[in-house]
Structure 1
Amino acid sequence: MRDAVTLLWGALLVRQVLGEYGMAHFSNKGKSKGKDYCIFFNPQWAGLPQDLHKASRLQIHDLTTSVLCSPSEVPEEGFTNRIPMVLRGNCTFYEKVRLAQINGAKGLLIVSKDRLTPPAGNQTEYEEIDIPVALLSYTDMLDISKTFGKGGVVAMYAPHEPVLDYNMVIIFLMAVGTVAIGGYWAGSRDIKKRYMKHKRDDSAEKQDEETVDVTPIMICVFVVMCCSMLVLLYFFYDRLVYMIIGIFCLAASIGLYSCLCPFVRRIPFGECRIPENNLPYCHKRPQIRMLMLSVFCTAVSLTWGVFRNEDQWAWVLQDTLGIAFCLYMLKTIRLPTFKACTLLLVVLFVYDIFFVFITPLLTSDGGSIMVEVAAGPSDSSTQEKLPMVLKVPRLNSSPLALCDRPFSLLGFGDILVPGLLVAYCHRFDIVMHSSRIYFVACTIAYGIGLLITFVALALMQMGQPALLYLVPCTLLTSLALALWRKELRMFWTGSGFLKDEPQPPVIAPVSCTQTPEQSTEKPVANPESQGAEASNQSEDPPPLEEGDMPKDEAGQSE
């Protein structure tokens, strides 16, 4: 296994060295103002300066009607002190660049309709060639011809890319904030629901969604479904991506409704209900304000669905809907024990590593299935991206902003999976009256794990499986804290919290001869049912099952 990982790292590093992104700055003669276009070059042919002012401005020779694979395609005057721009064709990069260099060219731009791959060669060919060669997309070539015609000049350069972009700060704050708020909300709501379980009214608490307790079988089924869907997306991306977009729109609108619902309920108007009807959703006669909230959330989700490819502002809607979706999932899904938390996080830890680091050894092109699916295959005919990520545009000036990588991404799974553990820690804190020490420690551990992920990203300059760093940080921190506080057994099983607590007082049966002033209980119509109810109250409470969070003496939530 270690040898396989070593070979994989070596292969990835070689791929990184072979190709680098740069810029081709086009302008008209005598004018300093121009436009940058993304290029992909191999520094082993010839390097490029990092500063535009140090790059030579040379006349472009538009030869896009040719592939420059034979001497007959070279014009009679040659390419003296010019940079020819040719189509890719079927011959090797070496044959093209050799013809260009022999005929006086100072560089070579190769227009490609396919994905930009590094123009490779062998060591002997690298030593023979001393002019830069770079690939340019066909779409950019059409824009260049339209904007500058055939009389433009070009300067090729490769500006230094910053190690980390400022947008990482925004992603960090969004991720840690979502985990902290979601874990706090989920824990508080779950405990409050347990304490108020005996009430039978039409309050807002009763109208909230039910939580789903995750079992080991559900975890196994979930992981199998994740693996299957990831593989299916890798092979049938163009057919399934629209299904994922539709599911996201539906789930995000429900999540946004769930997050805004507590605030809308505080609005002092719109409490009246709609008239009786037989419509699918409205037959329960929802309040006017809740119906308007449903319409608003649906409209926001549909707006993103229609304008999802507007890179300048659609990412704001996607991140808003994504955060709402994560909060909704953290509030709805409940891990009942630390044992279940450990199982889920460890299994997904292995899943993340396998699909990022091991699958390149199994695919024909040596690509990672996880990275290909998350970023969207470069050869996809739809050019759609999966929406299950937080995305923030790059804020630093970088070639990546022009090279189809203008965003930094963080998957929802890197928020939800550790967030479920944070929610469990908060529930445990409330029951044990531990001043939320588990919740705060696990949240801080999540933030530290995310920082380590960013550092690894900067050092390795490649996509990282965030769970590789987040799972050990959160799990080990929670485990160490439970050991230090000598609460590991209770923390592991989620039960046994009332072992040393006094039992609640037994309510004595109410006599039928008592007057209303003497009785502390409400009178009932049937004395026999009253006596039966009182006898049930005098019985010992049933033992707690694994994963149950018990009530305290007063039976009230914090």
Structure 2
Amino acid sequence: MGAAGVLRAALWGLLFPLISAQEGLLHAFSNDNPLLKKDYCIMYNSFWTSLPSSLSNATPTRLVIFTPKMLCSSSDVPHHIAKDKAIVVKRGNCTFLEKAWIAQNLDAKILLIASETGLTTPGGDKSTYKNLSIPIVVMSYVDVFDISKSLGNNVNVTLYSPPSREFDFSMVIIFLIAVLTVAVGGFWSGMEELEELKAAASSENPGVSRKNSETILFGPVKIIIFVVFSCIMLVLMYYFYIWLVYVIIAIFCLGSATSLYCCLAVLIQKIPFGRCRLACCNTTFEVRLIFLAGFCVAVAAVWVVFRNENSWAWILQDILGIAFCLNFIKVLKIPNFKLCVLLLGLLLVYDVFFVFITPYLTKSGESIMVEVAAGPFKNSEKNYGNLVEASAERSAPHEKLPVVMRVPRFQFCTPKICGMQFSLLGFGDIILPGVLVAYCHRFDVQTSSSSVYYISCCIGYAVGMLLTFVVLSLMKMPQPALLWLVPCILITSALVAWKRKEMKKFWEGNSYQVMDPADCATTEENSTLSSERCGGE
């Protein structure tokens, strides 16, 4: 595949499921002055802890703050003080579950863990927490300090989690981004195919297309290598997240800046004026394209610097992500439906395996895919053998992988308390179905089918996205989107080909499409169709 192809595969081979957060509220009020009250954001694991849906149904509990104690030993907290109390201890030195068992043995009613490393959902070995009954929540260390400062030492707290609506408007935006990106990317690929056909028709050898230097042709060997590489990369991310996340960020920055340039350059070149050129080293450059390159690099650089600014950085990430997906859908070419089925089928198995099967294989009982998507510190206070160091200042949130579209959720009842919550969709859930949409449009161009395959496949993708959102709302758990997208687009495309009595041609592809030389060696030597696709070699 080459170094560039491996790096690209490393980035978008990570197909993340749609995931949702588990936020709640801590309502604190002073026993000395009932008028003094305040709400704080908490994170909890809904599989461990069930919180009331409203404040009126919650039971007040006396709060006792033991920070900077970490409760890694029962001697850290006196039993007579912790009994029937909501106790606050500091995050670090041992796992959430170890703290929870000690707190439960001390007869505490609620365990609150004060974190300086950002709010994360408590997690751990499922077989261990089954017998735990004490609620476990994570809150900010700064908020714990604020409770003491604002409300005093005689404080009661109640925990509750307001119900969220089944439908959120952010899903509409995610849907539009995904469908429009796939549709535009597929249309772009088809138009490029039309230009190549015209160029081939006017050349001396019209039977064979000119392979674009920017095109990545996938054959059976490359598909298998790609899927295997994606599996290896995901497992490596699971074990070495804190180092590899910066590699992925760097690759995304470079790839998205290049993709944004490719997308905008196509539009700028349609403008008939301002074509001033600059000569350098026996080569001429359009000045406006030089400025465009600088602009694209600047956009990517701004995102890198401010990527953790939740209030607006998501807009830049989505713009760069859309350009990234568009460019890959246009560049990545599968020569026939047969290889599309192979690629999407293998990645469907990959997606389902790492979301639904790996919980039975990991020690923590959590999905590898969800673990990587959630980032570090999700399941434990320990990180690759190193304890989380406590600092005097509030630390920045951990790095997140940028291979997702992020749209703020609108439905959470107290966004100012818990900050922005996001709906996510992985790039792979756009790029990979987009590859089939692009093939359908190229096939339409090659066979003069009036875009029937292209439009049908786009509709199939839209139906698959709607089905994904419905299942996500009903099941309320992480979903591998390809589980619903792949059958919708494959079945739709196959039905159109069968109805038009073109299945054989659609399955094998048009002889105009030239295969990559590396894959020609794997085809049957006596196949006439293979000979045509390999340029008669």
TM-score by length of 2: 0.76
Contact 2:37 2:151 survives alignment (8 Å): no
Instruction: State the alpha-carbon separation in 2 of the partners of residues 193 and 457 from structure 1.
Output: 42
Q: CA deviation at 1:317?
A: 0.6
The equivalent position to 1:459 in structure 2, one of 454, 471, 474, is: 474
Q: Deviations over 1:456-479 (max 9, x none)?
A: 212221111111111111111111
* Residue 483, structure 1, aligned to residue 498, structure 2: yes
Summarize the alignment of residues 183-332 of structure 1 with structure 2, pairs less than 5 Å apart.
183-197=186-200, 210-277=214-281, 284-332=283-331
Instruction: State the alpha-carbon separation in 2 of the partners of residues 72 and 225 from structure 1.
Output: 49
Q: CA deviation at 1:36?
A: 2.2
Contact 2:310 2:420 survives alignment (8 Å): no
Structure exhibiting the larger radius of gyration computed from Cα positions: 1
The equivalent position to 1:96 in structure 2, one of 94, 103, 117, is: 103
Q: Deviations over 1:349-407 (max 9, x none)?
A: 11111211222222221221111112223356781111111111221116899779922
Question: Taking structure 1 as reference, are residues 154 and 289 closer, same or farther at Cα in structure 2, changes over 3 Å only?
Answer: same
Greater relative contact order: 1 or 2 (C-alpha under 8 angstroms, separation 6 or more)? 2
Summarize the alignment of residues 426-441 of structure 1 with structure 2, pairs less than 5 Å apart.
426-441=441-456
Q: CA deviation at 1:276?
A: 2.3
Contact 1:40 1:135 survives alignment (8 Å): yes
Contact 2:86 2:111 survives alignment (8 Å): yes
Question: Taking structure 1 as reference, are residues 53 and 208 closer, same or farther at Cα in structure 2, changes over 3 Å only?
Answer: farther
Three-state SS of the structure 2 residue aligned to 1:274 is: strand
Contact 1:257 1:297 survives alignment (8 Å): yes
Three-state SS of the structure 2 residue aligned to 1:222 is: helix
* Residue 419, structure 1, aligned to residue 434, structure 2: yes
Identity percentage over the alignment?
Answer: 42
The equivalent position to 1:180 in structure 2, one of 179, 183, 188, is: 183
Instruction: State the alpha-carbon separation in 2 of the partners of residues 41 and 350 from structure 1.
Output: 28
Q: CA deviation at 1:164?
A: 3.5
Match of 1:7 in 2: none
* Residue 62, structure 1, aligned to residue 65, structure 2: yes
Summarize the alignment of residues 378-389 of structure 1 with structure 2, pairs less than 5 Å apart.
378-379=377-378, 383-389=398-404
Q: CA deviation at 1:168?
A: 1.1
* Residue 73, structure 1, aligned to residue 78, structure 2: yes
Contact 1:60 1:153 survives alignment (8 Å): yes
* Residue 117, structure 1, aligned to residue 127, structure 2: no
Task: Count residues with an aligned counterpart.
Answer: 464
Instruction: State the alpha-carbon separation in 1 of the partners of residues 151 and 486 from structure 2.
Output: 52
The equivalent position to 1:37 in structure 2, one of 35, 41, 54, is: 41
Structure 1, unaligned runs of 5 or more: 1-15, 102-106, 127-131, 201-205, 278-282, 498-541, 550-558
Question: Taking structure 1 as reference, are residues 296 and 39 closer, same or farther at Cα in structure 2, changes over 3 Å only?
Answer: closer
Instruction: State the alpha-carbon separation in 2 of the partners of residues 544 and 240 from structure 1.
Output: 40
Match of 2:517 in 1: none
Contact 2:89 2:114 survives alignment (8 Å): no
Question: Taking structure 1 as reference, are residues 41 and 26 closer, same or farther at Cα in structure 2, changes over 3 Å only?
Answer: farther
Instruction: State the alpha-carbon separation in 1 of the partners of residues 77 and 443 from structure 2.
Output: 79
Three-state SS of the structure 2 residue aligned to 1:397 is: coil
Question: Taking structure 1 as reference, are residues 154 and 116 closer, same or farther at Cα in structure 2, changes over 3 Å only?
Answer: same
Summarize the alignment of residues 372-383 of structure 1 with structure 2, pairs less than 5 Å apart.
372-379=371-378, 383=398
* Residue 136, structure 1, aligned to residue 121, structure 2: no
Q: CA deviation at 1:438?
A: 1.0
Match of 2:5 in 1: none
Which stretch has the larger CA shift, 285-294 or 185-194?
185-194
* Counterpart AA for 2:229: M
Three-state SS of the structure 1 residue aligned to 2:344 is: helix
Question: Taking structure 1 as reference, are residues 259 and 30 closer, same or farther at Cα in structure 2, changes over 3 Å only?
Answer: same
Question: Taking structure 1 as reference, are residues 226 and 398 closer, same or farther at Cα in structure 2, changes over 3 Å only?
Answer: farther
Question: Taking structure 1 as reference, are residues 230 and 43 closer, same or farther at Cα in structure 2, changes over 3 Å only?
Answer: closer
Contact 1:209 1:332 survives alignment (8 Å): no
Match of 1:359 in 2: 358
* Counterpart AA for 2:377: S
